[in-house]
Amino acid sequence: MIFFNPSQLVKLARRSAKCWLASLLLLVFTCSYAFADRKYNVLFVASKPSADYVEVLNSVKQQLEKQSPERYEFNTVFRNSELNLKTDLAAADFVVTIGTAAADTVFSTRPKAPILSVLITENAFSVLTEKHYGSIEAAFAAQVSSICLDQPVTRSIQLAKLLVSDSSGVGVMLGPASVHRQPELSKYITNSGLQPQFVSISAKDNPIHKIEPVLSRSDVFIPISDSRLINIATAKWILHLSYRHKVPVIAFSKSYLKAGALAAIYSSPADVAEDTVDWLLNSTSATVGSSNKPAYYSLNFNQSVAANLKIKLQTEQFYRDHFSQEAK
C-alpha cells in the first residue's frame, strides 16, 4: 500500500491541475480552429420556382458569396420537390424559407437549425408558428425567425403627412389581425398632426357600408395589411370608393398600387434579399428566434392616379430622405 504526505498531495494536485488546464486549452484551440475553417450550410426552401422567389434566393447567394466568400455553401429545395427535405434540413446550418407554403412545410418538420422565414406576412407567420410550435414564443425559442412583408405603418403615415396638409383626416382600415394596433397608430397619427379616422372590418361586414363613411371623410386612406380574406374582400371597394370620393390610398403592395392606389410602400424581392443577407451574416447557431420588421423598403407612385387627383408628387428620394430624418 502506497501513502502520500500532504506536500506530495498538493504537488500532485497542482501537477494534475496543470495537465487538465493544458488539455482544456488544447481542446479550445482545436475547436476554435475547426469552427473557424468550417463552411455554413444554408438551405433555401422556396414555395415555388417563380421569378420573385428565384430572384430572392439568387440575390441572397450572390451577396453572401461576395461579402463572405468561402464561408457559406448553399442548397436549394422547392417545396414541390421535397424528396430529401428531411436529410437536407438535418445537414443545414441555417434554413431560409421563402414563401408561406415553404414555411409551413419546414415548420412541420421542426428542424434543429435556425430558421428564417421571408416573403411571409406577419399574420401568416403568426398563424403558422401557432400551428406548428404552439405559440410564436415557442417558435422563437426553437430559433425560428421571420422578416415579414409588412412594412411599418409609420412609413405610410409619414408619407400621408407629406401628401396632404396638416390637420387632415387620415382614414385607416384595420382588420381582425391588426385591430389591436389602433391605439398605437392613433397616437402616432395624432402626434404627426393629423386626424385619425379608423374603420375596423370583420369578415361578416359589408365593407362598402363600413368603409365609405370613413373614407368619404378622410383626405388620405391607409389600409393596414390583415388576413388574406380581409385584404381580398376590401381592396376592390377601397379602390372603388377612393375613385368615387377622390381620396388617395396608400397601399402595402405593388399590386395594390397598380390597381389604383396612389402610392405603395412594400418589400421588393431585392429588399427581402438584403434583409436576409443581413440576418444570415449576423446570425449564429445560437441565434434566438424573432419577428423582424423589414429594414429595406420600396416606394412607388401611380402617376396616373396622382394626375387624376391633381396631387403633385416629389421625387422618391425626397420621401426616402424624409423617412430617414424621421427615423433619426
Residues at the contact surface with other proteins, assessed by CB under 8 A: 47-48, 52-53, 99-101, 119, 121, 149, 206, 208-209, 212, 225, 228, 231-233, 235-237, 240, 251, 253-256, 259, 266-267
Compute CA distances 265 → 154, 207, 294, 307, 323, whole Å.
Answer: 11, 23, 11, 19, 12
- Min. distance of Cβ 227 from other proteins in angstroms? 10
The four Cα atoms 293, 249, 186, 129 give a dihedral, to 10 degrees, of: -30
Residue whose CB is less far from other proteins, 92 or 257: 257
- Min. distance of Cβ 51 from other proteins in angstroms? 11
Residue whose CB is less far from other proteins, 143 or 225: 225
Of 240, 242, 260, 264, nearest to 252 by C-alpha is: 264
Of 274, 39, 118, 270, nearest to 106 by C-alpha is: 118
Residue whose CB is less far from other proteins, 72 or 301: 301
Of 103, 100, 106, 98, nearest to 49 by C-alpha is: 98
- Min. distance of Cβ 103 from other proteins in angstroms? 10
Residue whose CB is less far from other proteins, 212 or 275: 212
Residue whose CB is less far from other proteins, 172 or 265: 265
Compute CA distances 115 → 16, 108, 142, 317, whole Å.
Answer: 44, 12, 9, 34
75 contacts: CB under 8 Å, gap ≥ 6:
41, 42, 43, 44, 88, 91, 92
- Min. distance of Cβ 90 from other proteins in angstroms? 26
Helix (H, G, I), strand (E, B) or coil at 90: helix
- Min. distance of Cβ 192 from other proteins in angstroms? 26
Q: Is the dihedral of CA 144, 107, 132, 179 positive or negative?
A: positive
- Min. distance of Cβ 235 from other proteins in angstroms? 4
- Min. distance of Cβ 255 from other proteins in angstroms? 4
Residue whose CB is less far from other proteins, 143 or 178: 178
The whole-angstrom separation of Cα 57 and Cα 48 is 12
Q: What is the DSSP string of 99-114?
A: SHHHHHHHHHH--SS-
Compute CA distances 169 → 122, 166, 222, whole Å.
Answer: 27, 9, 11
User: Which residue is listed with cell 423582424?
Assistant: 292
Residue whose CB is less far from other proteins, 40 or 53: 53
Residue whose CB is less far from other proteins, 9 or 203: 203
H or E element in which residue 298 lies: strand 298-301
- Min. distance of Cβ 225 from other proteins in angstroms? 8
